[in-house]
Chains A and B, each alone.
Chain A
Amino acid sequence: MESSDEAGRVVPRRLHVVPVLLLVAIAAWEILATRCSATSVPGDPAWAKAAQFVRAGYQPGDLIVFAPGWVDPVGRMHLGDLIPIEVAARMDAARYGRIWELSIRGARSPDTAGLTPVAITRGAGIEIRRYERTPVEVVADLRDRVTTARVEGGGGGPTVELAEVGFAPHRCLQVVPTAGVPLRITFPGVPLGTELVGYVGIADVFTRRDNRAPAQLDVELGGQVIASATAGVDDGWIRFAAPTTPGTAEVTFIARASSAHRLICFAAEARR
């Protein structure tokens, strides 16, 4: 790190100022960045203004989402009266034709993936995006037909629950199959469209921790398995889908788990 001049004296090189310049630059940046990040998230006045804007254009049946996910409680505080529990705990966003996305920090909600906003309004750090699309038409929601379900095999009948699956809320049909014994849940006379879409996951973080076995769900139509999904403890809310022929049919879900107390949560819709 050192060199000598003509007289033989030790002379520090210019490189010797690099460490201190590095430290000074980091310190100065850290002071500014710390203060900037601490004030970078919009506060309640900005949210109140954004909420006012959304309310002015809101129509019944619209979906309101917030991004990133961690700001969801703040969004619900300002607009939660426009978000029924069933909507907050939706199976997915496909049945919503209009979606309001309130975003900070440039984030996108998974519910608007692939969509292009028809309107964008920016103000005080919150971007309000409105999306419009042709929603799917649901001809049957299996959750609404729980009372018609017929059960065979190991375990009790399904109940409709508001459950935590993959750390998100989902209104679903919950079953607890006997370990190693398939549980068949049959819905008679289900109106079908062109597609049956559903999701499955394991409810409750603590049972997922203490019991690491996956859950298996098969969907049978006319004695044929048309869709299958395996949900592991860290997989969250797993989508499955199968084409169907419009008409009326008996749909059977077969839930399996290799160990006891596995809370299997699923939902399914027949879509036109």
Chain B
Amino acid sequence: MRTERLVGWILALLTTILVVGNQQDVGVARDEIVYMQHGSRYAEWWLGLVTLDHGIGKATVTKTWGGPGATDNNREHPPLIKTLFGLSEKLFHDGLGVDEVTAYRLPTAVLHGVCVLLVYLMALALWGFAEAVAGALLLMLLPRALFHAGLAAFDAPIMTLWFASIYAYWKCLDGRKWPWQAGVVFGLALATKHNAFLLPFAIGTHYLVLGVRNRAAGWRGIVLHRWRLIVSFVVLGPLTLVAVWPWLWFDTFQHVRDWVAFHTTHVHYNFEYLGDNWNAPRFPWHTALVTTLFTVPLVTLAGAALGAVSWWSRRAQVTDLSRAPGLLLALSAAASIGPFFLGTTPIFGAEKHWMPALPSICLVAGVGVVWAARLAIGFIDTLRPVPARGRAAILGGVVALVVAAAAVETVTAQPYALTWYSALAGGAPGGADRGMNRQFWGVAARGVLPVLAAEAPPAGSPPRPVYTHDASPAWGLYQRLGLVPGTLPDAGREQVGIDRSKLAIVIHEKHFNRHDYLVWKSYGTVQPIFVLRAHGVPIVSVYRRP
């Protein structure tokens, strides 16, 4: 058993290494810049607090964590992960010389490894070693999730903290006296991203279903069968959130209300789906379904479908029947993805917003793949007895082939994974044919930096301003990293910036077409000098003023 658990840790480490390696070629997302900057400030504040440089007065807290505006000091997002970004940058960049971007992104990469570990451990406990390895590898080899895990953002971390909450709750259903872990992890999830508000729907429903099984004990049996867990969630969850978020240390209710209100009244960003640009409800009910079909490897989805069938047909064999883990995983996925079927929940960002459903899918996929292989082994055994080594070879071969398919999709997707779609959609070109969203956050601009650098005048010459479009927030960082020469300053925003520029980039998204036209008008030409493509699909155009 110790060896088996060690394998889980090795898979987690491999996942983190894979994410860190992969993000080296991924450009800096627009929002990352904001989270990095505020993360550094949050980290400095905590370090200042422990070194007694300042206290915890309202003024000092507000200066770093809040303010009167809805987005002052990025107070619209909880701070846990941003704080980790900042601490990581201080430790690994300032202290150990790791490059700045990697240092900021390291916490997300580590958390992704943790998510793989948790899926592994749960599958190991419920089904066995083979299922655990298969499920963990399928989670590791999700193209979009791997991409998001390489960004200093919230989406991969909330997947981990969401699943960690589910895992901790499941573990704490064992009747332990002090189930503090469940509440604390839930609090950390709340401090990561507001998706965590949906967790009670999954956990609460599951808890009540277990209670109904216990209905002979009356309503107390239904509601209070694990009352300590309720206390843990209700008390420790909010306390943990408040503990890591100084902005909630005063005017707590008002600040929580502001936080929730920001997201319930969030502007609808533009997002392309099946050929149409969506920026207002009602959104198509099938967005989450189709997008998941097109962004999770088909083999993983097929494994999950088989896994669901096998889980149901063998539910009596589950080692942990009393805690209904299959139901818990299903509810976890449903609570995460369910709101996107309503037609009113914003769909921008698409699959990154329901990533917490993925651990359930991959864990069940691992079960399905192994079940299918074992069924086949059983059949072959009736024709000709298969020795143990042969059984292992067949099982290993099936798992390896399935994992290889997911791996090929994952490798193909990088570094422009937001433009990638699965084989079911026809890859990136198929996604473009179907009018699926091309990309967002300006990440792809990184790919044209060498083209722009080749256009740079030598040092000391007059600068050639660049209209940097959606890469504008990252431009200073790109210059600091030496990817953009100092003689290529950012020209500024919109038409004024374009008119001032000598070079321009346009990042291709449907609603960004207007930027092409603004450049045409100013430059007097429709001809870019370079078009960056992902598998033939245009993602960034570069223009030079004639």
Q: Which of B274-312 contact A (CB under 8 A)?
A: 276-277, 279-280, 297-299, 302-303, 306
A66 to B: closest C-beta gap in Å = 11
Q: Would you call A242 an interface residue if the criterion is a C-beta within 8 Å of the partner chain's C-beta atoms?
A: no
The B460-511 residues at the A interface (CB cut-off 8 A) are 508, 510-511
Residues from 21 to 41 in A contacting B, C-beta threshold 8 Å: 21-24, 26-31, 33-41
Q: Which residue of B lies closest to A74 (CB)?
A: B531
Interface string of A131-147 (1 = CB under 8 A from B): 00000000000000000
Binding site for B on A (CB under 8 A): 1, 11-14, 16-17, 19-24, 26-31, 33-43, 68, 70-74, 76-77, 80-81, 83-85, 88-89, 105, 107, 162-164, 167-169, 204-205, 208-209, 212, 234
| Chain B residues with CB below 8 A from A234, complex form | 276
Instruction: Provide 9 A-B residue pairs closer than 8 Å at the C-beta atoms, listed in order of the A residue.
Output: A12-B378, A30-B408, A37-B428, A40-B535, A41-B536, A41-B537, A71-B536, A72-B538, A74-B533
* Chain A residues in 8 Å Cβ range of B270: 205, 209
Q: Binary interface profile of B, 333-376, with partner A (CB < 8 Å = 1, else 0)?
A: 00000000000000000000000000000000000110111011
Shortest 6 CB-CB distances between A and B: which pairs?
A41-B536, A80-B527, A37-B427, A19-B372, A164-B514, A20-B376
B541 at the interface (CB under 8 A from A): yes
User: Is B268 located at the chain interface by the 8 A CB criterion?
Assistant: yes
Q: Given the complex, which residues of A lie within 8 Å of B438, measured CB to CB? A: 70
Chain B interface size band reads 35 or more
B402 contacts the other chain (Cβ, under 8 Å)? yes
Would you give the shortest CB distance from A210 to chain B, in whole angstroms? 9
Contact of A169 among B426, B520, B541 (CB under 8 A): B520
Chain B residues with CB under 8 Å of A81's CB are 525, 527
Is B513 in contact with chain A by the CB < 8 A criterion? yes
Chain B residues contacting A84 (CB-CB under 8 Å) are 526
* A77-B529 contact given A85-B520, A167-B511, A205-B279, CB 8 Å threshold: yes
Interface centre among A19, A167, A208 (most CB of B within 10 A): A19
Are A20 and B526 in touch, CB under 8 angstroms?
A: no
Query: Does B219 lie at the interface of the complex (its beta carbon under 8 Å from any beta carbon of A)?
Result: no
Known: A12-B382, A31-B404, A85-B521. A37 touches B426 (CB 8 A): yes
Task: State the Cβ distance, B499 to closest chain A Cβ, in Å.
Answer: 14
Of listed A33, A37, A68, A88, residue having the most chain B CB within 10 A: A37
Residues of A within 8 A of B268 (CB): 209
**A40–B535 alpha-carbon span in the complex (Å):** 8
Give the complex CA separation of A205 and B271 in angstroms: 12
Q: In the assembled complex, which residues on chain A have CB atoms less than 8 Å from the CB atom of B541? A: 73, 77
- In this complex, what residue of B is CB-closest to A72? B538
Complex CA gap A30/B438 in Å reads 21
**Bound form: Cα–Cα A19–B147 in Å:** 30
Besides the known contacts A13-B379, A22-B302, A169-B513, 5 further A-B residue pairs in the complex with CB atoms under 8 A apart: A23-B299, A23-B306, A27-B404, A34-B408, A105-B433
Given contacts A20-B373, A209-B270, contact A34 B427 (CB under 8 A): yes
- State in angstroms the CA–CA spacing of A71 and B534 once bound together: 12
Does B432 interact with chain A (Cβ within 8 Å)?
Answer: yes
Tell me the smallest distance from the CB of B293 to a CB of chain A, in Å: 13
Question: How far, in whole Å, are A72 and B513 apart by their CA atoms in the complex?
Answer: 11
Pick the residue among A40, A74, A169 that contacts B427 (CB under 8 A). Answer: A40
Considering the complex, give the chain A residue whose CB is closest to the CB of B398: A20
Bound: A21/B302 CA distance, A:
12
Q: Which of B382, B513, B527, B536 contacts A43 (CB 8 A)?
A: B536
Residues of A within 8 A of B412 (CB): 34-35, 38
In whole angstroms, how far apart are the Cα atoms of A209 and B521 in the complex? 24
User: With the chains together, A164 CA to B512 CA distance in Å?
Assistant: 10
Alpha-carbon gap, A34 to B430, bound state (A): 11
Complex contact A38–B372 (CB within 8 A):
no
Contact pattern, B 428-459, Cβ under 8 Å of A = 1, otherwise 0: 11101100001000000000000000000000
Rounded to whole Å, the gap between the CB of B146 and the closest CB of chain A is 15
Complex-state Cα separation, A243 to B302, whole angstroms: 58
B97 proximal to A (CB < 8 A): no
Q: Are the CB atoms of B302 and A26 closer together than 8 Å?
A: yes
Q: Are B277 and A70 in contact (CB under 8 A)?
A: no
* B326 CB–A CB distance under 8 Å: no
Q: Tell me whether B277 and A30 are in contact (CB under 8 A).
A: no
Beta-carbon contact of A27 and B401 below 8 Å: yes
- The answer to whether B405 has its CB under 8 Å from any CB of chain A is yes
In the complex, chain B residues whose CB is within 8 Å of the CB of A13 = 379
Give chain B residues whose Cβ lies under 8 Å from the Cβ of A31. Answer: 404-405, 408
Check B520 against A16 for contact (C-beta < 8 Å): no
CB neighbours (8 Å) of B375 from chain A are 12, 16-17, 19-20
Whether the Cβ atoms of B299 and A105 lie closer than 8 Å is: no
Minimum C-beta distance from B308 to chain A (A): 12
**Interface pair A16/B528, CB less than 8 Å apart:** no
Mark each residue of chain B from 183 to 199: 1 if its CB lies under 8 Å from any CB of chain A, else 0.
00000000000000000
Residue among B279, B401, B526 facing the most chain A CB atoms (10 A cut-off): B526
Question: B409: shortest Cβ distance to chain A, in Å?
Answer: 5
Task: Find chain A residues with CB under 8 A from B372 CB.
Answer: 19-20, 22-23
Contacts of A68 in B (CB 8 A): 432-433
* A16–B378 touching, CB < 8 Å: yes
Task: Assess whether A71 is in contact with B538, with CB atoms less than 8 Å apart.
Answer: yes
CB-CB under 8 A from A39, the residues of chain B are 535
Residues of A within 8 A of B510 (CB): 167
Q: B227 interface residue, CB < 8 Å from A?
A: no
Q: Tell me whether A163 and B535 are in contact in the complex, defined as CB-CB below 8 angstroms, given that A20-B372, A27-B401, A77-B527 are known contacts.
A: no
How far apart sit A168 and B513, CA to CA, in the bound complex (Å)?
A: 7
Question: Contact at B531–A73, with CB atoms within 8 Å?
Answer: yes
Residues of B within 8 A of A71 (CB): 536, 538
Question: Please, which residues of chain B bring their CB within 8 A of the CB of A162?
Answer: 517, 520-521
Say yes or no: A30 contacts B528, CB within 8 Å. no
When chains A and B are docked, how far (Å) is the Cα of A169 from the Cα of B519? Answer: 12
Cβ contacts under 8 Å, B398 to chain A: 20, 23-24
Q: Which residues of A contact B525 (CB under 8 A)?
A: 80-81, 85
A68 CA / B277 CA spacing, docked (Å)? 17
A31 to B427, CA, bound (A): 11
B302 lies within 8 A of A23 (CB): yes
Question: B535 to A38, Cβ gap below 8 A?
Answer: yes
Query: Is residue B516 contacting chain A, with contact meaning CB distance below 8 A?
Result: yes
Question: How near does chain B come to A93, taking the closest CB pair, in angstroms?
Answer: 16
Chain A residues lying within 8 Å of B423, measured Cβ to Cβ, are: 29-30, 33-34, 37
A40–B429 contact, CB under 8 A?
yes
Could you say which residues of chain B place their CB within 8 Å of the CB of A30? Answer: 297-299, 405, 408-409, 422-423
Contact (Cβ within 8 A) B429 A73: no
- Within the complex, the shortest CB–CB distance from A46 to chain B, in Å, comes to 10
Q: How far is the CB of B532 from chain A (nearest CB, A)?
A: 9
Residue from the set A27, A74, A167 with the largest chain B CB neighbour count within 10 Å: A27
Name the residue of chain B whose CB is nearest to the CB of A84: B526
Question: B401, B429, B521, B530: which contacts A41 (Cβ < 8 A)?
Answer: B429
Query: A27 contacts which of B380, B381, B405, B530 (Cβ < 8 Å)?
Result: B405
